[in-house]
Structure 1
């Protein structure tokens, strides 16, 4: 039986918890900016560091820094079946 947790803002995601982006609650400009960074609906990521008013994310073998305001607009669902080895495919 599969139980899916409700989406949460990326800013609330616990450290080293794999999650997938389910929604970007922003305008076209924000969506394009995130797409340019390789982040889109369905992308797997995790928070690897919290720095002041921002986060450092691991996604697809890379690292991306993101401000708290943007992280509030990106909603994710925890993905317990995803690998969590720092690379995240």
Structure 2
């Protein structure tokens, strides 16, 4: 393995991800938004991906989103406040 591959592996291992429920709580704390607003405004913009595979049922498991994506959506919402 080259050094570049090690860096990529380190990046992936340290990548912050959260479940939709964790993302909801995080957005509520950062914006003061209620949970119903999260599901109407933010949830449709996120694309959760499975982080694991359930080999017993052969289905994807544990859907997560990147923390960076959630932060980006919060920033977009707050940027609209500055431009209005």
Regarding TM over 0.5, the answer is no
Shorter chain as denominator, the TM-score bin is: under 0.3
With the length of structure 1 as denominator, give the TM-score of the two structures: 0.27
Greater fraction helix:
2
Give the structure with higher Rg (CA): 2
Q: Which has the larger strand fraction?
A: 1
TM-score after normalising by structure 2: 0.28
